[in-house]
């Protein structure tokens, strides 16, 4: 079963993502802060993570920077409600991070899921080649 981490401080948003992915047959783990998510990823690995940017304490960018060296095949999708946000330049070219920034409210979560699956496939193909 594919697993996904939903990192968002807003309960309703987190739940709405969780509900969707559960319906689509994913195993969902949730975190309401980056610190919590870092702790969680030390316990277990996930296939994908939906990461909010503005968070209390550590923000989404720093969360990715923190966990990136320790994870192998996790796909990150950044999702923000902030209009001025854009993906930082040090993160945008990393293959496991989606280049597409999803703005909240996400119009079709299906698109977001497709993006995750696409990157997962690409990474799997890359591993096979190696």
- The binding site for other proteins (CB under 8 A) comprises 10-13, 15-17, 19-20, 22-23, 25, 54, 80-84, 103-109
Radius of gyration of the chain (CA): 14
Distance between CA atoms of residues 50 and 98, nearest Å: 10
Residue closer to other proteins (CB basis): 79 or 96: 79
Query: What is each CA distance from 112 to 69, 102, 115, in whole angstroms?
Result: 24, 7, 5
The distance of closest approach from Cβ of residue 73 to other proteins in the complex, given in angstroms and rounded to an integer, is: 26
The distance of closest approach from Cβ of residue 108 to other proteins in the complex, given in angstroms and rounded to an integer, is: 8
The distance of closest approach from Cβ of residue 105 to other proteins in the complex, given in angstroms and rounded to an integer, is: 4
The helices-and-strands tally (H runs, E runs) of the chain is: 5, 5
Residue closer to other proteins (CB basis): 19 or 42: 19
Q: What is the pairing mode between strands 75-80 and 48-52?
A: parallel
Query: What is each CA distance from 120 to 29, 80, 82, 84, 94, in whole angstroms?
Result: 18, 21, 26, 28, 13
Residue closer to other proteins (CB basis): 74 or 80: 80
The distance of closest approach from Cβ of residue 10 to other proteins in the complex, given in angstroms and rounded to an integer, is: 5
Residue closer to other proteins (CB basis): 80 or 98: 80
């Amino acid at each position: 079963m594919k697993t996904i981490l939903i990192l968002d401080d807003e309960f309703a948003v987190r739940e709405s993502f969780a509900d969707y992915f559960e319906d689509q047959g994913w195993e969902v783990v949730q975190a309401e802060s980056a610190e919590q998510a870092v702790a969680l990823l030390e316990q277990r690995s996930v296939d994908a993570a939906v990461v909010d940017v503005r968070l209390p304490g550590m923000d989404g960018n720093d969360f990715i920077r923190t966990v990136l060296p320790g994870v192998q095949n996790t796909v990150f999708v950044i999702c923000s409600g902030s209009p001025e946000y854009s993906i930082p330049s040090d993160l945008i070219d990393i293959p496991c991070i989606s280049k597409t920034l999803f703005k909240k409210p996400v119009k079709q979560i299906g698109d977001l899921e497709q993006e995750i699956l696409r990157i997962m496939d690409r990474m799997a193909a890359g591993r096979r080649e190696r």
